[in-house]
A and B are shown apart, each in its own frame.
Chain A
Amino acid sequence: MTPLNIRRMALGSALAALAIGSFAAPALAQRDPAYAAARAAGTVGEKMDGYLGIVGAATPELQALVDDINIRRRAVYAERAQAEGATLAEYSFTAGCLAISRTSPGEMYQAPDGSWQRRTSAPPMRHSSCP
């Protein structure tokens, strides 16, 4: 193998790594361990309005975690709502319907009557306007 071929191979594999890296980047974004633990413990839950809520007693740590997530969700909702020509409330409510649908058994969600419910293997109780 000539030095030229080796250089070409090195360049090719570097480009391939770069391409894989850029495609894989969004999938790598996972829940923060503290957030994942709070969801699993049921100390936070999905609300009907598309935001995260505290179930039970609030601690400063829990409040900071929920506020951080909700601020970031709101930014995403606002951007997408504008792109879709919808209001923030319409978009966040729609996302809330889907987020409640996607809860795993054991996680908490808000039922149409406003009460907190623990998700079972059965479909969650959702607002009648949900898609």
Chain B
Amino acid sequence: MTSAKLTTSACRAHKALMRGTMASTAKGAVLALGVFALGGCITVNAPAEPIVIELNINITQEVIYRLAEDAGNTIDENADIF
């Protein structure tokens, strides 16, 4: 899935940050290493599920509004069964 791609890009960003931090102080390097090891790669997938649910609701509502005009014409054209 897309998680592999996300993990790769997240790690690459932290490596670049690390190079800059190590040049200044060792303390900064340790901090950056900590962020790289704990934060970046683990939390990526967490919010995926709630976002998907919200999207489905929006699509359904959008479809109903899109169909409204056609459905109105259908009722007019089939007045004998409505």
Q: Are B68 and A94 neighbours in the complex by a CB distance under 8 Å?
A: yes
* Binary contact readout A53-88 vs B (1 if CB under 8 angstroms, 0 otherwise): 000000000000000010011001100100110100
Q: How many residues of B contact A (CB 8 A)?
A: 19
Contacts A29-B80, A32-B80; A80 near B71 (Cβ below 8 A): yes
Q: Is the interface of B mostly helix, strand, loop or mixed?
A: helix
- Kindly state whether residue A130 has any CB partner on chain B within 8 Å: yes
Q: In the complex, which residues of chain A have a beta carbon less than 8 angstroms from the beta carbon of B81?
A: 31, 69, 72-73, 76
Using a CB–CB cutoff of 8 Å, the interface residues on chain A facing chain B are 26-27, 29-32, 69, 72-73, 76-77, 80, 83-84, 86, 90-91, 93-95, 97-99, 102, 129-131
Q: Are B61 and A95 neighbours in the complex by a CB distance under 8 Å?
A: no
- Kindly state whether residue B72 has any CB partner on chain A within 8 Å: yes
Q: How far is the CA of A81 from the CA of B29 in the complex (A)?
A: 60
